[in-house]
Amino acid sequence: MGEAKKLFIKTYGCQMNVYDSERMAEALGGQGYVATDTPDDADMILLNTCHIREKAAEKVYSELGRFKPLKAERPDLKIGVAGCVAQAEGEEIMRRQPMVDLVVGPQSYHRLPQMETAVQGGAKALDTEFPEEDKFEHLKARPKASRGPTAFLTVQEGCDKFCAFCVVPYTRGAEVSRPASRVMAEARDLVERGVREITLLGQNVNAYHGEGEGGDWSLARLIRELAEIDGLERIRFTTSHPNDMDDDLIAAHGEVEKLMPYLHLPVQAGSDRILKAMNRKHTAESYIRLIERIRAARPDILISGDFIVGFPGETEEDFQQTLSLVEQVRYGQCFSFKYSPRPGTPAAERAHVDEAEKDDRLRRLQALLTRQQREVQDAMVGREVKVLFEKPGRMPGQMVGKSEYLHSVHVAAEGLARGDLRQVRITESAPNSLGGVLV
């Protein structure tokens, strides 16, 4: 048997890309590749790209430029671009960077083994189709190596919402849910290999409607069934749309002990005029009432969200309504961004807000969100939480893990191992983490 080839994957963006990169590595494992953590000695380099952030494509081209000396030194090195930029740019990537050997979209990476065979034969390989077959079904089973205590599990892909600022419907396609039996089988396999917490992933995960016993399963039904798996201690899900938070999913937060009290539920803006322009199909008031219902089901739940400031047409009055919504909801975590246009989306064609105004609004919003986040963290001091420990801390003698609320918590490591789930009393609050002692 020949020497194993080395594969370097650089992953950008969301947790779904992290999951996809794992599966791409597994797909190419059947071709004799093993992972390496540096491009310098790789036989194949794959960039798994994300199209959400500003100038995403340009950053990919810049990264590819850095690999030119490696390619010149080792002409047999194969370079590929995967993910959402690959889907959006297609042949343009190969035109601008002729050294690229393969381009594969996020729905086609199960075809990587055949593409790899083609490029080893000297051909170029491009696949950005939306194939009819289920890529997950066509991938080889995960190798039976042990896993860390947490894992991502994609259950749904694509989005039918067509928000005016978003490229996901164009790069990931229409909403598709994996059959419940396959999700359950993969979850059981992960638990057998040491996973204690699973995060269910989807571009719009709470729209999940997977074929299952007795008809289509909702996300709430899936969560309730997963909770019956012995050894699976924690369940999370992300990312959700407010319009798909149905009654049963809200109830599950109060009824399913293994479903963690953390919910990422983006609203994007607090102005109904801007929400309509964004094609969000909900109002600020309906979002606030929804949060109230969720908190009635699970009073201690930590709410996280996303905001875009400076969307085309946003006035200072619109922005003040966003600040007002933030004050009413009180977020424990949040992500906020300046609007930046995505080619091909409706909002990209509209008149833009002045960049200096966008900068100022983002600064003011982030100051408010940071204050709220600190208040939530500081209020944890003196409370007991359950922490799933994942890795050593930055300081010697520490272990770090996540609480039920997704806060990072560090404690003295004596007697602790990776995968331990222990009760911790919080004793200190820092900007991005909590400190505590074992109970």
Q: What would the pLDDT profile of 173-229 be if each residue is shown by its tens digit?
A: 889 999 999 999 999 999 999 999 999 999 899 999 999 999 999 999 999 999 999
Given a contact cutoff of 8 angstroms between Cβ atoms, the answer to whether 185 and 231 are in contact is no
| CATH label of the domain that carries residue 159 | 3.80.30.20
Q: Look at residue 406 and tell me if it is in a domain.
A: yes
Dist. CA 38–CA 40, nearest whole Å = 5
Residue 160 CA from chain centroid, whole number: 18
Binding residues: 14, 50, 84, 159, 163, 166
pLDDT of res. 139? 58
Geometric angle at alpha carbon 66, from 60 and 68, rounded to 5°: 110
In sequence order, which ranges of 2-67 are alpha helices (DSSP H)? 15-29, 56-66
What b/e string do you get for 275-304 counting C-beta neighbours within 10 Å, with b at 16 or more?
bebbebebbbeebeebbeebbeebeebbbb
pLDDT of res. 344? 79
Which of 258, 281, 307 is the last residue in one of the domains?
307
Instruction: Give the end-to-end CA distance of the chain in Å, rounded to a whole number.
Output: 52
Given a contact cutoff of 8 angstroms between Cβ atoms, the answer to whether 159 and 280 are in contact is no
Least confident of 69-78, 252-261, 276-285: 69-78
| CATH label of the domain that carries residue 398 | 2.40.50.140
Least confident of 88-92, 305-309, 353-357: 88-92
pLDDT of res. 27? 85
Burial of 133 (0-12, 13-18, 19+ CB in 10 A): exposed
Q: How confident is the model at residue 332 (pLDDT cuts 50, 70, 90)?
A: very high
pLDDT of res. 138? 57
Contacts of residue 284, Cβ cutoff 8 Å, sequence gap at least 6: 267, 269, 270, 271, 272, 275, 321, 325
Same-domain pairing of 410 and 299: no
Q: How confident is the model at residue 1 (pLDDT cuts 50, 70, 90)?
A: very low
Number of domains in the chain: 3
pLDDT tens-digit profile of 252-261? 999 999 999 9
| Average pLDDT of the residues in 362-372 | 97
pTM over 0.85: no
Same-domain pairing of 176 and 267: yes
Q: Look at residue 427 and tell me if it is in a domain.
A: yes
328 or 154, which is more confident = 328
Dist. CA 254–CA 251, nearest whole Å = 5
Q: Look at residue 372 and tell me if it is in a domain.
A: no
Structure token pair of residue 408: 């990072």
Q: Look at residue 46 and tell me if it is in a domain.
A: yes
Which of 127, 151, 184 is the last residue in one of the domains?
127
φ and ψ of 8, to 5 deg: -115, 120
Which of 127, 160, 184 is the last residue in one of the domains?
127
Given a contact cutoff of 8 angstroms between Cβ atoms, the answer to whether 397 and 414 are in contact is yes
The one-letter amino acid at 74: R
Contacts of residue 371, Cβ cutoff 8 Å, sequence gap at least 6: none
Picking from 413, 412, 414, 407, the residue whose alpha carbon sits closest to that of residue 430 is 407
Domain containing residue 388: 384-438
Given a contact cutoff of 8 angstroms between Cβ atoms, the answer to whether 256 and 264 are in contact is no
Q: Look at residue 240 and tell me if it is in a domain.
A: yes
pLDDT tens-digit profile of 229-253? 999 999 999 999 999 999 999 999 9
pLDDT tens-digit profile of 107-159? 788 888 899 999 999 999 998 876 655 556 655 555 556 688 999 999 998 88
Binding residues for [4Fe-4S] cluster: 14, 50, 84, 159, 163, 166
